[in-house]
Amino acid sequence: DAGVIQSPRHEVTEMGQEVTLRCKPISGHDYLFWYRQTMMRGLELLIYFNNNVPIDDSGMPEDRFSAKMPNASFSTLKIQPSEPRDSAVYFCASSSGTGKETQYFGPGTRLLVL
Amino acid sequence: KNEVEQSPQNLTAQEGEFITINCSYSVGISALHWLQQHPGGGIVSLFMLSSGKKKHGRLIATINIQEKHSSLHITASHPRDSAVYICAVSSNTGNQFYFGTGTSLTVIP
C-alpha cells in the first residue's frame, strides 16, 4: 500500500487566497484525521471523519476552515480566506477499528501564507 | 494546564546510552500513543497502548493507568534515533485527542 497520500507537499500563497489541501487515506481505513502542527502550539487535531461523516470538528479554528470527505478515498481541507497565522504543516492520518487505534500519517503539507 | 505533559523537553545523549522519556496525563484515556517525528517532518506511530508494556526492537513503552503516566525507553541509543517524540492520548469520554509538546532527542555519535 502507498500509505496516506497528501497533496500538495508545499504551498505558498498570499493572504486572502483560498487554499485546498488534499488527502487520500489508506484503503480500507474508515477513520480520517486532519491535524495542524505549529512551533507555538505543537500538534492539534482539527477534525476527524468516520465512514466519510465528520464526527468531531471542535478543533477547527474558525469558519474560514472547512473539511469534506465525499468518499472513502478522498478528503479535502479548505481555508478561505487564508491568513498568515494559518502557516503550518497540515497532516492527514487514517486508521481502522475504533478510531483510537494506531494512526498512519501522511507526509504533511507545508503551508506558508504571506 | 495541558492535559498531557512530557519531560524532558530536550534531551542529548551519547550513542549507546539508555534513554527515558516521560509522559503524564490528567484525563481519563482509552489509549496512549507514542509518535516519532524525524527532522524531515514525517510522523510515525510507534506504539499504542492502554495497559502494561509493549516492545519493538530497541524501543519499549510502558503505561501505569493508576498513576496516569507512561514512559518510552530506548536501549542502546543510536544517532538515527534523533527525532522528536510525541505523547498523545485519546480520551475515554467524547472524542478528544490531546498531545504533549514533544521531546526533542539528539543522540551524538
Q: Which residue has the higher pLDDT, A44 or B93?
A: A44
Of A42, A45, A101, the CB nearest to B48: A101
Interface test with B, best of A90, A100, A102 (most B CBs within 10 A): A100
DSSP-derived 3-state class of residue A86: helix
pLDDT at A28 exceeding the cut of 70 = yes
B12 touches chain A (CB under 8 A): no
Q: Comparing C-alpha atoms, which of A109, A61, A103, A60 is closest to residue B41?
A: A109
- Please report the pLDDT score of residue B95 as a whole number: 64
Q: Which residue has the higher pLDDT, A24 or B38?
A: A24
State the cell numbers at B64: 501505569
User: How far is the alpha carbon of B48 from chain A, nearest alpha carbon, in Å?
Assistant: 6
Q: Which residues of A touch B96 (CB under 8 A)?
A: 45, 56, 58
- Please report the pLDDT score of residue B20 as a whole number: 98
State the cell numbers at B4: 498531557
Question: How confident is residue A99, by pLDDT bands cut at 50, 70 and 90?
Answer: low
Percent of chain A with pLDDT over 90: 78
Q: Which residues of B touch A100 (CB under 8 A)?
A: 30-31, 48, 90
- Please report the pLDDT score of residue B74 as a whole number: 97
Q: Map A36-68 to HEC letters.
A: EEECCCEEEEEEEEECCEEEECCCCCCCCEEEE
State the cell numbers at A39: 512551533
Percent of chain A with pLDDT over 70: 97
Distance CA A88, CA B19 (A): 30
Q: CA nearest B32 in A: which residue?
A: A100
* Per-residue pLDDT tens digits of chain B, which is 109 residues long: 689 999 999 999 999 999 999 999 999 998 999 999 988 888 999 999 999 999 999 999 999 999 999 999 999 999 999 999 999 998 887 667 889 999 999 999 9
Distance CA B1, CA B66 (A): 20
pLDDT at A9 exceeding the cut of 70 = yes
pLDDT in tens, A58-97: 889 889 999 999 999 999 999 999 999 999 999 999 998 7
